[in-house]
């Protein structure tokens, strides 16, 4: 894929084409599993592989991405829990700001810490507004970020946060219910955010079935991320 991944996502969004990313956590997948996992991801026709996690051991992301690259051509986008997960071996990086939270560590500190890794890298850096919504579980991102998720019924706050993110120059908005969420991001939230912003929307957290996936797409998600259900082999045929 020679054009930028962001351009690819923007163009798909304009055309109404729906995208899928499978999330792999280097802490939960061994290097030996990567060959078979890559085949599984290709069988799902996923557009991207996201790599990242909340508690990834320092330094292992680099080898993980290198191994993935030996087995698949699917573009790899880093979805890092912290700056130590940045590796030049991936294709792109979601440069996340946790804009639903009020913890400076995840609004700007981690981003500054990432700069030495990014300055001379060829990674495509994609400014992304990350919005944590209550998924009914005490998710890892919630624990690590020490931020309060936006309640599912406060749609106005989610929408205003997404619009503010867009005004701040984010190129993508990620609506996150948290990995392994009991409740996925509400469909009304997705559709209201969609109505109010002109940048593509990523949705993830707790999606396990084809029906949930299609509902997210129909409500306005441009790209859906699935991690836990893929990892646990509980993903119903997509």
CB crowding 36-75: b at 16 or more within 10 Å, else e: ebbeebeebebbbbbbbbbebeeebbeebbebbbeebebb
Q: Distance between CA 23 and CA 8 in Å, rounded?
A: 19
Least separation in angstroms between CB 165 and ligand 1GP: 17
* Among residues 5, 181, 193, 235, the one that binds ligand 1GP under rule CB under 6 A: 181
Contact (CB, 8 A) for 79 and 50: yes
Residue 136 region by backbone torsions, left for phi larger than 0, else alpha for psi between -120 and 50, else beta: left
**Residue 223 contacts ligand 1GP per CB under 6 A:** no
> x/- binding map, residues 118-157, to ligand 1GP, per CB under 6 A?
----------------------------------------
**Residue 228 contacts ligand 1GP per CB under 6 A:** yes
Selected range binding ligand 1GP among 7-15, 100-108, 164-172, 225-233, rule: CB under 6 A: 225-233
What residue number has its CB nearest to ligand 1GP?
204
DSSP string, 20-38: EEEEE-TTTS-GGGHHHHH
**Residue 46 contacts ligand 1GP per CB under 6 A:** no
Q: Distance between CA 176 and CA 102 in Å, rounded?
A: 16
Per CB under 6 A, which of residues 14..33 are in contact with ligand 1GP?
A: 23
**Residue 172 contacts ligand 1GP per CB under 6 A:** no
Least separation in angstroms between CB 29 and ligand 1GP: 13
Size of residue set near ligand 1GP by CB under 6 A:
14
Environment class of 107 (CB within 10 Å of its CB; exposed 0-12, middle 13-18, buried 19+): middle
Interface positions with ligand 1GP (CB under 6 A): 23, 176, 179-181, 204-207, 225-229
């Amino acid at each position: 894929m020679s054009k930028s991944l962001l351009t690819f996502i923007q163009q798909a969004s304009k055309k109404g084409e729906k995208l899928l990313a499978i999330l792999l956590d280097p802490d939960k997948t061994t290097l030996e599993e990567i060959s078979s996992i890559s085949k599984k991801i290709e069988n799902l026709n996923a557009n991207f592989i996201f790599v990242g996690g909340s508690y990834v051991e320092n330094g292992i992301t680099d080898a993980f991405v290198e191994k993935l690259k030996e087995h698949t051509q699917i573009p790899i986008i880093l979805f890092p829990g912290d700056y130590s997960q940045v590796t030049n071996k991936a294709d792109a990086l979601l440069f996340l700001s946790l804009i639903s939270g009020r913890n400076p560590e995840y609004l700007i500190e981690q981003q500054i810490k990432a700069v030495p890794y990014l300055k001379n890298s060829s990674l495509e850096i994609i400014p992304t507004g990350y919005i944590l919504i209550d998924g009914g579980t005490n998710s890892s991102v919630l624990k690590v970020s020490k931020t309060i998720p936006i309640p599912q019924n406060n749609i106005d706050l989610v929408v205003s946060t997404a619009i503010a993110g867009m005004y701040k120059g984010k190129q993508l908005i990620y609506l996150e219910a948290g990995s392994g969420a009991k409740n996925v991001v509400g469909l009304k939230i997705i559709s209201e955010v969609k109505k109010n912003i002109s940048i593509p929307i990523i949705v993830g957290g707790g999606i396990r079935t084809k029906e949930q996936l299609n509902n997210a797409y129909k409500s306005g998600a441009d790209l859906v991320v699935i991690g836990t259900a893929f990892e646990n082999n509980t993903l119903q045929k997509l």
